[in-house]
């Protein structure tokens, strides 16, 4: 096995080889979840070939403004470090190339409607019969069996029917979606994790498999304490604005100029908060001395805290609280968030070329290697001639 080769182990230990170097990913997915998962695999060293429809390509290419590079900023956000080839499955020669790609791939990613790829021989059963070492990953909206197989899967829809909107927004107000396609991104991470697990399983057994993740399953698995609350009590949680259902103060509080996010997780932090505010006795008030008491009296607690916070600005309070070990911060815009990450040395963006804006960076750090240097998101069929020639030679 490759992992037992001494030279490989040496190069890997020196950070010169990434975990997925030499792996081929056939990316038949589009929009956000699948393409984002493929980017994560590319960051780990995989070669990713994105298969698109001739003429239009991935529909997110037209999801603008804003525009960037050769398409929309939306498309660019999920498609760096890939090669693009346009293949028409209704054309026999193009379909043969698509099959060759799937048959040579270590990983096949797709998010087509369930059953749509069967007539082309690109479904999981067909690919795995021809390429039993492949890891075939399907991303669906609501599963591939029963009623869910025919339901269209879009992030906003899943946020609605999956319960996330019911716990997002102001208390007593209209349910709200999260400000980014969070369900797609959760599914992307779950898909990448599933692919990596299946590749490890293949390394041990020599056999590939079909991995499936549904947007609804990804969301429900991420409802964490909110779902646990329902399962424990039978009462479905509801939106509380910026408040936490089980901790207080864990919310935004009004200061002289703006809102301050305060995330007090225990009684010691609350005592420190009261000390910063110049009212240590507040931590001994029976209504606020313990977290359960603070949750029960959260309205009175908010009024007391905001009365004290009103004398100064949010930024000043945040600095003083952080100095005392109290988790607190201003409510930043994305520009301010990126600036904060840079100041902390987290390197939140990477450059992908002079004709393209920066991209959000791979979020993990590794002691043994660095993620692959990104390449620009491709224009539609930018690598078509080279990929076609390579696939044609492979088919001979």
CA distances from 106 to 42, 44, 252, 260, 284 (A): 13, 14, 47, 48, 61
For tokens 């797709």, the residue is: 110
Instruction: Decide: 123 and 89 in contact? Cβ < 8 Å.
Output: no
Among residues 58, 94, 184, 381, the one annotated as catalytic is 184
Instruction: Decide: 85 and 52 in contact? Cβ < 8 Å.
Output: yes
SS3 category, 83: strand
C-alpha span between 293 and 191 (Å, rounded): 41
User: Taking the alpha carbons of 67, 68, 70, 73 in that order, is the dihedral positive or negative?
Assistant: negative
Q: Which two tokens stand for residue 341?
A: 């990450």
Q: 97-125 burial, b for 16+ CB within 10 Å, e for fewer?
A: bbbbbbbbbbbbbbbbebeebeeebbbbe
| DSSP track, 332-368 | --HHHHHHHHHHTT---EE---TTS--EEPPS---SS
Beta-carbon contacts of residue 303 (< 8 Å; ≥ 6 apart)? none
Torsion (CA) 361, 362, 366, 368 in degrees, nearest 10: -90
Beta-carbon contacts of residue 108 (< 8 Å; ≥ 6 apart)? 25, 26, 28, 102, 124, 127, 134, 135, 136, 137
Tell me whether residue 58 is one of the annotated catalytic residues. Answer: no
C-alpha 378, offset from chain centre: 21
Q: How many CA atoms does the CB half-sphere of 60 hold within 13 Å?
A: 18
Q: Is 380 exposed, middle or buried (0-12, 13-18, 19+ CB in 10 A)?
A: buried
SS3 category, 132: coil
Beta-carbon contacts of residue 396 (< 8 Å; ≥ 6 apart)? none
Which residues are known catalytic residues? 184
């Amino acid at each position: 096995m490759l992992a037992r080769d001494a030279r490989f182990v040496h190069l890997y230990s020196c950070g010169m080889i990434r975990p997925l170097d030499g792996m081929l990913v056939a990316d038949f997915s589009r929009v956000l979840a699948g393409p984002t998962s493929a980017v994560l695999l590319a960051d780990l060293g995989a070669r990713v070939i994105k298969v698109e429809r001739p003429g239009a390509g991935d529909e997110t290419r037209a999801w603008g403004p804003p525009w960037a590079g050769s398409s929309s900023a939306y498309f660019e956000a999920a498609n760096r470090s890939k090669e693009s080839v346009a293949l028409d499955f209704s054309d026999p020669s193009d379909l043969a190339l698509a099959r060759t790609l799937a048959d040579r791939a270590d990983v096949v990613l797709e998010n087509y409607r369930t059953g749509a790829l069967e007539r082309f021989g690109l479904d999981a059963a067909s690919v795995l019969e021809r390429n039993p070492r492949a890891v075939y990953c399907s991303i669906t909206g609501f599963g591939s069996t029963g009623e869910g197989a025919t339901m269209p899967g879009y992030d906003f829809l899943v946020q609605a029917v999956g319960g996330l909107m019911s716990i997002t927004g102001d208390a007593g107000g209209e349910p709200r979606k999260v400000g980014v396609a969070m369900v797609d991104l959760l599914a992307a991470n779950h898909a990448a994790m599933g692919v990596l697990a299946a590749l490890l399983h293949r390394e041990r057994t020599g056999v590939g498999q079909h991995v499936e993740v549904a947007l609804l399953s990804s969301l429900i698995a991420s409802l964490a304490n909110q779902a646990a609350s329902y399962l424990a009590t039978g009462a479905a949680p509801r939106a509380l604005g910026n408040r936490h259902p089980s901790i207080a103060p864990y919310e935004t509080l009004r200061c002289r100029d703006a809102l301050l996010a305060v995330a007090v997780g225990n009684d010691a932090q609350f005592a420190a908060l009261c000390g910063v505010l110049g009212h240590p006795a507040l931590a001994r008030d029976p209504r606020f001395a313990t977290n359960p008491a603070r949750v029960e009296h959260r309205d009175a607690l908010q009024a007391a805290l905001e009365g004290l916070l009103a004398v100064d600005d949010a930024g000043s309070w945040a600095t003083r609280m952080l100095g005392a070990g109290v988790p607190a911060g201003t409510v930043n815009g994305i520009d301010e968030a990126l600036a904060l990450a840079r100041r902390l040395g987290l390197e939140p963006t990477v450059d992908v070329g002079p004709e393209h804006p920066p991209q959000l960076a791979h979020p993990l750090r590794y002691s043994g290697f660095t993620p692959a240097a990104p390449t620009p998101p491709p224009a539609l069929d930018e690598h078509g001639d080279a990929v076609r020639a390579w696939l044609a030679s492979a088919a001979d």
